[in-house]
């Protein structure tokens, strides 16, 4: 399986090449790959349905306890099936949808890479591996939302999606780190086996909050829901695949996966069920206000994601069963509806449902597919969506915390969703024929086969829900339900959920009939909406830019001395703190010095200070020379003949160099004001004092054994040299000397290049630099 995922990434990399060979058929060729993986997964079905968990071990970075181990249980299998099957459909669909698009190859690269990342995400056993795949899906999603990169709106939406999901990703990383520490394991299988200990752990609350932040941002839960509708700037196949069927479910997947280890506490139940229910209602409420078919569907996806979160929050056996059924139902109908939306957009040239009408006679096959999928969305029998909704109502009635509030929100969401479903299918296909920019007709088979298959599956599973019994039981047990054996049937008899369904049907139809009125009434809430979470996001982004500008102005202002002063002050602060607060320094001051040594030191100081106050360049260079030669003298006095020789040579060369160049340089100028000089003097004295104190404290401190004893003893026996310093340079530390030679060579090349470079030519013809190297 790991190989399958890695091969998939390889396939993504060679997609442009395939596009070169196969032209318009590339998408179909690539689609064969997920289809193959799906067939392979189907072969595993008997073992999965028997409740087995397949562990495919694969070491990756054993030293850090990171493995590429995959494990397949009911939940992973269900997700992997959705990813590969819908993925294959979407690829075929996209090949037609983007036919002739000049960036089709790029699209195929990214979407294939996404597919594999998503597959890796739902199969990974290791937290770190899961996180890597998680971030990969965020990045590929960013690239896909911004696919039409010439459109500023698309770029902005892409960035927004990335910021929100990657920001949550950071929180998730922190959460995973705490989870790994608390559970002393990075393996999900092992973590899920010790749920009790994790829930009692002191880190439980912070780690849960971090993990929830990651999952909520990814799955567009309130108040992070705003990025998902904006992500509709992506081409429709992407919306169908990433932003309804798979990626946005990654957060829900993670919550389901961690439910056995982290779920069931009061914090979990209340947070998830309330946030979920709120998201449900918000999504449905916002959906009904839009006329853009993709936005309608996007907000209803937000609603569905909220439902899934809420069901995980309630966490009873019934809720987990409902979770699995609803998840499957939603992926099937929403994938199909998005693809239908793409067909409508493609054929009519508009996304506005109010501009369409009476298309059923022009596009009969599309109309049938849309109708089946929409009935499932509406939650009407005999489709899988009905089952999902019934089970959801049943689960909500079992909720322990805030039952009536959640029920109210869920009921609102249900009847609004029903209205949305009606709008999506009845507006374009029924009613009177309206003129659209293009004259529509049924699309080619490639675009219809995907939605038809997904809608067909909704119908088959709806009519014969018994087919799903095994999968639902295994999956629900895998995410923490006690051994359930689900028996799904359409008819449960007359009970409260059915009555709620009927009520929502009636209300939904009412809303649909007065949709135009409802929309204009809700339009009056616009000022309120303008203060929503998206406005907060915008404000944060503006604030970020302002702060960045301010600190660039402060720190990166182009004045070299400001940089220096800043660096030095930080250095002073850090060193000073370490010196005085981290250990108590002792400053010994014993003066056992001979007269000539004191004179040498005095010469150094005199040279340096003179260099500072001189107004003539030549005098300053001479003063520095005096200091340099005094240093050479110090080396002689204190047993360093080699240093003395080197210093003398270098000092002589330096003085010659400076004198040669000096007269081509500007004269000293007095540029600073007295205040500036005073400030610089203070900084300089502070640094000087710090250096002195530092040295004194080092000298007064304890001496560690010298590592050079080894070199002293072995210089002659091993290095065959009598001058120990030389042996160190060319033998013991020969690599350092090699590095030094590199630095000198680089400096020499730089000097040479600059000497050959003539300013006049630079001004005259900056684009023809080669000529002057001829002479």
Partner 1 sequence: MEPLMAVTIGILFATAIYMMLRRSIVKLVIGLMLLSNAANLLIFVTAGLTRGAPPLVPPGMSAPEGAVADPLPQALVLTAIVIAFGVLSFAVVLVRRAWEIVRADDLDKMKDTDT
Binding residues among 664-683 for partner 1 as defined by CB under 8 A: 664-666, 668-669, 671-672, 680-681, 683
Contact 94, 237 (CB under 8 A): yes
Nearest approach in angstroms of CB 712 to partner 1 is 6
Contact 244, 301 (CB under 8 A): yes
Nearer CB in complex with partner 1: 499/649: 649
Q: What distance in Å separates the CA atoms of residue 177 and residue 185, rounded to the nearest whole number?
A: 10
Q: Rounded to a whole number, what is the largest CA-CA distance in the chain?
A: 112
State which of positions 544-573 bind partner 1 (CB under 8 A): 557-561, 564-565, 568
Helix (H, G, I), strand (E, B) or coil at 292: strand
Nearest approach in angstroms of CB 545 to partner 1 is 22
According to DSSP, residue 492 is labeled: -
Using CB under 8 A, pick the residue from 439, 506, 698, 772 that binds partner 1: 698
Q: What distance in Å separates the CA atoms of residue 396 and residue 274, rounded to the nearest whole number?
A: 12
Contact 122, 252 (CB under 8 A): no
**DSSP of 341-375, one letter per residue?**
HHHHHHHHS--BGGG---TTTTSHHHHHHHHHHHH
Q: Could you tell me which stretch among 467-475, 497-505, 508-516, 709-717 binds partner 1 (CB under 8 A)?
A: 709-717
Nearest approach in angstroms of CB 547 to partner 1 is 22
Nearest approach in angstroms of CB 622 to partner 1 is 11
Q: What distance in Å separates the CA atoms of residue 431 and residue 440, rounded to the nearest whole number?
A: 16
Nearest approach in angstroms of CB 565 to partner 1 is 7
Q: What distance in Å separates the CA atoms of residue 505 and residue 525, rounded to the nearest whole number?
A: 26
45 binds partner 1 (CB under 8 A): no
Nearer CB in complex with partner 1: 3/754: 754
Nearest approach in angstroms of CB 582 to partner 1 is 19
Nearer CB in complex with partner 1: 149/615: 615
Residue 657 CA from chain centroid, whole number:
54
State which of positions 256-275 bind partner 1 (CB under 8 A): none
Q: What distance in Å separates the CA atoms of residue 554 and residue 146, rounded to the nearest whole number?
A: 34
761 binds partner 1 (CB under 8 A): no
Q: Could you tell me which stretch among 212-220, 386-394, 474-482, 581-589 binds partner 1 (CB under 8 A)?
A: 581-589
Nearest approach in angstroms of CB 603 to partner 1 is 10
Using CB under 8 A, pick the residue from 401, 545, 569, 751 that binds partner 1: 751
State which of positions 88-117 bind partner 1 (CB under 8 A): none
Using CB under 8 A, pick the residue from 542, 723, 769, 772 that binds partner 1: 723
Q: What distance in Å separates the CA atoms of residue 18 and residue 37, rounded to the nearest whole number?
A: 19
CB atoms within 10 A of CB 534: 18
Nearest approach in angstroms of CB 568 to partner 1 is 7
Q: Which two tokens stand for residue 192?
A: 């899920």
Cα distances from 38 to residues 28, 41, 348, in angstroms, run 15, 5, 34
Look-up of token digits 């990214």: 110
Nearer CB in complex with partner 1: 506/712: 712
CA-wise closest residue to 728 among 745, 744, 714: 714
Sign (positive/negative) of CA torsion 250, 256, 262, 264?
Answer: positive
706 binds partner 1 (CB under 8 A): yes
748 binds partner 1 (CB under 8 A): yes
Nearest approach in angstroms of CB 682 to partner 1 is 10
50 binds partner 1 (CB under 8 A): no
State which of positions 290-319 bind partner 1 (CB under 8 A): none
**DSSP of 77-109, one letter per residue?**
HHHHHHHHHHHHHHHHHHHHHTTT-TTHHHHHH
Q: What distance in Å separates the CA atoms of residue 750 and residue 748, rounded to the nearest whole number?
A: 5
Using CB under 8 A, pick the residue from 703, 705, 771, 774 that binds partner 1: 703
764 binds partner 1 (CB under 8 A): no
Per rule CB under 8 A, count of chain residues that contact partner 1: 104
Nearest approach in angstroms of CB 551 to partner 1 is 17
Q: What distance in Å separates the CA atoms of residue 377 and residue 421, rounded to the nearest whole number?
A: 6
Using CB under 8 A, pick the residue from 490, 505, 518, 729 that binds partner 1: 729
> Residue-wise over 4-30: b if at least 16 C-beta within 10 A, else e?
bbeebeebbeebeebbeeeeeebbbbb
Nearest approach in angstroms of CB 579 to partner 1 is 14
Mask: binding to partner 1, 634-653, rule CB under 8 A, as x and -? xx-xxxxxxx--xx--x--x
Q: Could you tell me which stretch among 318-326, 356-364, 533-541, 687-695 binds partner 1 (CB under 8 A)?
A: 687-695
Contact 226, 533 (CB under 8 A): yes
713 binds partner 1 (CB under 8 A): yes
Q: Could you tell me which stretch among 122-130, 275-283, 526-534, 738-746 binds partner 1 (CB under 8 A)?
A: 738-746
Contact 312, 441 (CB under 8 A): no
Nearest approach in angstroms of CB 673 to partner 1 is 10
State which of positions 604-633 bind partner 1 (CB under 8 A): 604-605, 608-609, 611-612, 617, 620-621, 624, 627-628, 631
């Amino acid at each position: 399986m790991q190989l399958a995922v890695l091969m998939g990434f390889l396939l993504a990399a060679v997609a442009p090449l395939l596009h070169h060979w196969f032209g318009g058929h590339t998408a179909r060729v690539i689609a064969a790959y997920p289809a193959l993986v799906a067939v392979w997964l189907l072969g595993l079905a008997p073992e999965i349905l028997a409740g087995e968990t397949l562990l495919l071990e694969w070491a990756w970075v054993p030293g850090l306890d990171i493995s590429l181990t995959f494990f397949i249980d009911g939940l992973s299998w269900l997700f992997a099936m959705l990813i590969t099957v819908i993925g294959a459909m979407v690829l075929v669909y996209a090949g037609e949808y983007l036919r002739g698009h000049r960036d089709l190859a790029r699209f195929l690269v990214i979407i294939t890479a996404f597919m594999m990342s998503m597959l890796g995400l739902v199969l990974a056993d290791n937290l770190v591996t899961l996180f890597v795949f998680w971030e990969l899906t965020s990045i590929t999603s960013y690239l896909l939302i911004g696919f039409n990169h010439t459109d500023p709106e698309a770029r902005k939406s892409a960035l927004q999606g990335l910021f929100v999901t990657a920001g949550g990703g950071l929180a998730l990383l922190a959460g995973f780190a705490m989870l790994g520490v608390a559970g002393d394991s990075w393996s999900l299988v092992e973590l899920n086996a010790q749920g009790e200990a994790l829930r009692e752990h002191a880190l439980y609350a912070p780690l849960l909050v971090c993990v929830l932040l990651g999952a909520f941002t990814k799955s567009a839960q309130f108040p992070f829901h705003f990025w998902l509708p904006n992500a509709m700037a992506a081409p429709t196949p992407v919306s169908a695949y990433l932003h309804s069927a798979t990626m946005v479910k990654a957060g829900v997947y993670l919550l389901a996966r961690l439910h056995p280890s982290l779920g069931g506490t009061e914090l979990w139940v209340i947070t998830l069920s309330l946030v979920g229910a709120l998201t449900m209602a918000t999504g449905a409420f916002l959906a009904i206000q839009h006329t853009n078919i993709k936005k309608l569907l996007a907000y209803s996806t937000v609603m569905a994601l909220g439902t899934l979160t809420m069901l995980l929050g309630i966490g009873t056996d019934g809720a987990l069963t409902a979770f699995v059924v609803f998840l499957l139902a939603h992926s099937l109908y929403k994938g199909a509806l998005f693809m239908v939306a793409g067909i409508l957009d493609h054929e009519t040239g508009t996304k506005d449902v109010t501009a369409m009408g009476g298309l059923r006679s022009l596009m009969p096959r599309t109309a049938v597919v849309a109708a089946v999928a929409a009935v499932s969305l509406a939650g009407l029998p005999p489709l899988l969506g009905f089952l999902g909704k019934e089970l959801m109502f049943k689960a909500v009635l079992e909720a322990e915390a805030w039952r009536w509030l959640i029920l109210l929100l869920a009921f609102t969401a249900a009847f609004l969703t029903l209205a949305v479903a009606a709008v999506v299918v009845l507006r374009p296909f029924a009613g009177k024929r309206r003129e659209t920019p293009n004259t529509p007709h049924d699309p080619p088979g490639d675009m219809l086969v995907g939605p038809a298959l997904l809608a067909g599956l909704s119908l088959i599973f709806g009519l014969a829900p018994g087919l799903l019994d095994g999968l639902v039981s295994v999956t629900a047990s895998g995410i923490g339900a006690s051994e359930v054996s689900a028996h799904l049937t359409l008819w449960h008899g007359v009970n409260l959920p059915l009555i709620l369904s009927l009520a929502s049907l009636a209300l939904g139809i009412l809303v649909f009939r007065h949709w135009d009125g409802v929309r204009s009434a809700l339009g009056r809430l616009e000022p309120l909406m303008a203060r929503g979470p998206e406005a907060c996001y915008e404000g944060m982004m503006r604030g970020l830019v302002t702060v960045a500008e301010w600190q660039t102005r402060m720190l990166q202002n182009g004045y070299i001395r400001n940089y220096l002063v800043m660096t030095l002050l930080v250095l002073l602060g850090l060193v000073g703190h370490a010196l005085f607060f981290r250990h108590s320094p002792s400053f010994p001051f014993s003066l056992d010095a001979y007269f000539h040594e004191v004179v040498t030191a005095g010469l150094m100081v005199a040279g340096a200070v003179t260099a500072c106050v001189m107004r003539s360049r030549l005098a300053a260079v001479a003063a520095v020379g005096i200091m340099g030669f005094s240093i050479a003298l110090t080396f002689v006095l204190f047993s360093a003949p080699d240093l003395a020789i080197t210093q003398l040579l270098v000092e002589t060369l330096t003085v010659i160099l400076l004198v040669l160049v000096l007269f081509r340089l500007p004269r000293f100028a007095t540029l600073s004001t007295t205040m500036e000089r005073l400030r610089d003097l203070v900084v300089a004295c502070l640094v000087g004092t710090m250096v002195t104190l530092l040295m004194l404290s080092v000298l007064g401190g304890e001496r560690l054994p010298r590592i050079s004893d080894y070199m002293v003893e072995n210089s002659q026996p091993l290095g065959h040299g009598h001058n120990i310093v030389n042996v160190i340079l060319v033998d013991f530390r020969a690599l350092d000397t090699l590095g030094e030679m590199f630095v000198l060579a680089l400096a020499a090349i730089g000097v040479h290049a600059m000497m050959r470079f003539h300013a006049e030519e630079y001004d005259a013809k900056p684009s023809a630099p080669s000529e002057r190297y001829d002479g």
